[in-house]
Structure 1
Amino acid sequence: MAMAEKGDAAAMAALGQPPLDVKQTELQYPAEDGSKVRAKLFQPLNPPKGGSPLIVMYHGGGICLGNPEGEELTCQNFVQAFGAVCVSVTYRLAPNFRFPHAPKDAWDALQWAAANAKLWGADPSVGFVVGGTSAGANLTFVLVHLARDEKLSPPLTGQYLAIPLLLPNGKVPEKYSPYAISYEQNKNSPILPVAAIDMFMCGYQPDIDDGVLYATFNHPKGHKDLPPTYFQIDGMDPLRDEGLIYERVLNREFRVKTKLNVYPGLPHGHWVFFPFLKSSEKFRKEQVDGMGWLLGKEPDFTKVMLKAIAAVA
């Protein structure tokens, strides 16, 4: 925990001041029980004539670590590449706030963002995307199904899943089990070995049989009518195969449009922990390209920062 906090401080120092053409605002959203939870809003000072899409991002950290700054560079890049309005939200963390606090907070945050889009200068009709990294991608995964079933208005137009946690190792449906080998193959991988996943889950204590708020791969209503989905997956990651399997299921079984980038031989969150690698710069470029695919827009790379910055993933 102390190392993570030290890493957060170093990441904030590295980020420095926001770009001059990005307005950055500290906010709080109301959780269902009346608590106030942090968020950061990123807006273009010169919005595009065609309207600003709305993007909501959830940070990683095993549901036990992290903060909105974890997606700060990503949000800044989305603002500069697309003139988007981007909000990075946190959620109450385990072990103080165990399952299902995180998905319930995340759902409250998404509804809050939808309700405030116009106030922030966003136009969800030109794009409304929810995304996240690692554990934040698990929350994203949960949210797109909730948004579908609860008929969120305005509706989501896309989801972005980076190195996603999607399916408990013991809950892989039998027909997919031959393809789920990455937990064993990458059990001792750097950054996120299986022992670390177990540690985070011990703190979070999710219900692995809950197909609505956690193990949404096994959702009782399946994955029909979900928005287009963009994946970024690391090859030397225990979580690799659940992402690959889910992409195939969405595309082949439910006819959901998907786009996939894989980074062979690289561990979980490589762009965060090894920002000096060419593959980290490649990740950042493809992240922006992938968001452009979801939005149906060509990115403007003239101000985007492709040199990744070390932070807690």
Structure 2
Amino acid sequence: MNHIHIDLSQINPRVLKAYYYSDGKKYKKPHELKERSVYDYEIELITYSDGGMYIDRIYHPVSRGDIIVRRPGQMTKAVLPYTCYAVILDLMDNTGKNSETYDFNKSQEYQQSYSCPPLDRIPPVVKASAFERYSVLFDAILKEYINPGPDSATLLKGYCLQLLCIISRETIRPDGHQGDGSAYRTLIRNVIEYVEQNISNRIMLKDLAAVAGMSPNYFHRVFTRAMGMTPNEFVISKKMNRARELLATTSKSIADISLECGFDNIAYFSYVFKRYSGITPSSFRVAYSYPLRQT
């Protein structure tokens, strides 16, 4: 496939499909899906993995936090189990494809492949340095896609440009450098592990500060600078991630999921979930996941 050279300023992304793929966790290792063609630009954030994927017949083991980038004209085959966020882009908003009926499994025209330095240096698999930052960004894209408003097209374009630029920066960043928070990486990692292990509990700022060995005020500044979000925003995002996973992959009642995510009031849980995800828990359970076809 021939490449057209463009400048970064020309990129005008439109989301063709955004979804969270949760079904992959159900399969025993290794479970290979049917090889398929890649027609458009596809970006995934791996949230769980004991598998990998083939891209142009080359196998790539993938881990939680990896970013997968596939381009038009490539061939791909997933090897489960893994779960992921996924976004499929019309990079220049010029394909004319309908986002409401888009299906990457169906044979269709290939999007033009483009070349510019920030895109060209992105490999098929990127080892991301800050999973939570990507998770929040993919969440924002998914929220706007499944619950669009008058300004969603503009927001989605901005989120996708940000995503592409951050991924590109990962490929040139010296190993181990994470901006202003790099000196506190181990402490931040300990805090993240604490939150993940205590999702079902009420988590206070003072608890997180104690894990980091800092005063609450100082910890709040350090964490926010390192993660790009406040500690409370991070805790809520982790609880909502867990809630979405349970809604998509289990038959547990919403009341039980509320308790498992640290909310003792189902009404408040539903309020927070809708504010964060754009839809109610029950609506999410019906419509949120986008399972891959098995053929």
Shorter-chain TM-score above 0.5: no
Instruction: Compare CA radii of gyration and give the structure with the larger one.
Output: 2
TM-score (norm 1): 0.29
